[in-house]
Amino acid sequence: MSDYAAVLDRAAAGGRITPEEALDLYRSAPLHALGSAADTARRRRYAGTEHIATYIIERNINYTNSCVTACKFCAFYAAPQSDKVWTRDIADILRRCAETVELGGTQIMFQGGHHPDYGVEYYEEHFAAIKKAYPQLVIHSLGASEVEHMSRISGVSAEEAIRRIHAAGLDSFAGAGAELLPARPRTAIAPLKESGERWLEIMEIAHNLGVESTSTMLMGTGETNAERIEHLRMIRDVQDRTGGFRAFIPYTYQPENNKLKGQTQATVFEYLRLIAVSRLFLDNVAHIQGSWLTVGKEAGQLSLHYGADDLGSIMLEENVVSMAGAKHRSNRMEIIHLIRSAGRVPAQRATTYEHLLVHDDPANDPVNDHVVSHLSSTAIEGGTAHPELKLLASS
């Protein structure tokens, strides 16, 4: 393809580009032109609110590290028979929910290993308990891989599993377990997981049952540029049928403490180019999220100029990618500053991307420095809503 400008102009205006055109843009289009076209597409899509970029306050609650899947990129899991296995009880989980509410969080991401004993019943019990105690929290959790696993353990179909956990309290799926959807890289890094086609099939079942999700992509484990674009193509095809993917969130492989042991192969420039191509290629997915947690705050901020409209979350707890080497932390004030200094107006959002609080006047910015991302569990002392809370030791 020699005429990048024509393809970029078409995509920026909302026209559809082919996978072949997307791959050529990703490989060879001038960086500034690529980013400019993606930003134009974002501004067109969000005309009227194009000056706003969003974030969310959430908590990842890791319920167990016991996992039978043993993905090669993962530093979090422990083999089920290992003496390193741990599981959180329901009281511990509910306390972490209490902390989330106290700190203004609106969303829970229930995340853990594929425990050999945890079927649909386990998730029903825990989601129902969370919803009963904290109905204001959105349970945006799990993904197709967990559905496949719990269905097998309980001997039910994926459709039945989704219906049951949704009825118990699951609001939407977090898109976990997508990693790389094409067969070659997926088999290389996660040979015991379901196929990429099966992952998408389960997400399509969920969408048709009214359970929406996000979609994700793990960059930098040895996949080719063509396989990255094929991952996007597979997502776009399902989205054409269901419209159930709210967002696309690419993030980069972290090389510490896992079996791959390799240096991250996705550079910041590769990441930014993928953000831009994603915005242009995924014409049917509303939101593109930057990932400051894995690529760093500056690159996350730059992603807002390459088509991203959301900067992800202040994670009150995160233990999975941090164990693989991600050491970036942030707090609410810093995320607001990053968005504002990128020339955008920050806004706290809901899981479904509605604006909860627009920070249009710096004089009214929040000053609560407790709202900070952590690599292990922390809590505030006392507080107005839950004075019984005490500082939790790191775990």
**What are the residue ranges spanned by the domains of the chain?**
17-364
What residues does 58 pair with on adjacent strands?
107, 315
Residue 254: pLDDT band with limits 50, 70, 90: low
**What is the pLDDT averaged over residues 281-286?**
98
Residue 388: pLDDT band with limits 50, 70, 90: very low
* The pLDDT of residue 263: 54
**What is the pLDDT averaged over residues 46-54?**
97
Stretch among 17-31, 257-271, 358-372 having the lowest mean pLDDT: 257-271
Taking only the tens place, the pLDDT of each residue in 291-314 is 877 778 888 899 999 999 999 888
The whole-chain average pLDDT of the chain stands at 86
**What is the pLDDT averaged over residues 127-143?**
97
CA proximity to 52, closest of 340, 368, 326, 295? 340
Angle at 176 between CA 78 and CA 242, to 5 degrees: 155
Residue 255: pLDDT band with limits 50, 70, 90: low
**What is the pLDDT averaged over residues 57-65?**
90
How far is Cα 203 from Cα 215, in angstroms, rounded to an integer? 9
- Name which residue leads in pLDDT, 7 or 254: 7
What are residue 235's phi and psi, to 5 degrees?
Answer: -65, -45
CA proximity to 271, closest of 298, 248, 250? 250
Question: Could you tell me the two tokens for 257?
Answer: 């403490």
How far is Cα 310 from Cα 346, in angstroms, rounded to an integer? 9
Taking only the tens place, the pLDDT of each residue in 70-80 is 677 676 667 87
Q: Is residue 341 predicted with pLDDT exceeding 70? A: yes
Q: Is residue 235 predicted with pLDDT exceeding 50? A: yes
**What is the pLDDT averaged over residues 253-265?**
58
Question: Which one of 213-222, 279-288, 317-326 scores highest in mean pLDDT?
Answer: 279-288
* The pLDDT of residue 38: 98
Question: Could you tell me the two tokens for 371?
Answer: 């709202």
Q: Is residue 241 predicted with pLDDT exceeding 80? A: yes
Instruction: Name the percent of the chain lying above pLDDT 90.
Output: 64
CA proximity to 151, closest of 189, 110, 206, 191? 206
Q: Is residue 23 predicted with pLDDT exceeding 70? A: yes
Q: Is residue 374 predicted with pLDDT exceeding 80? A: no
Residue showing tokens 């507080």: 383
pTM, full prediction: 0.87
Q: What is the CATH number of domain 17-364?
A: 3.20.20.70
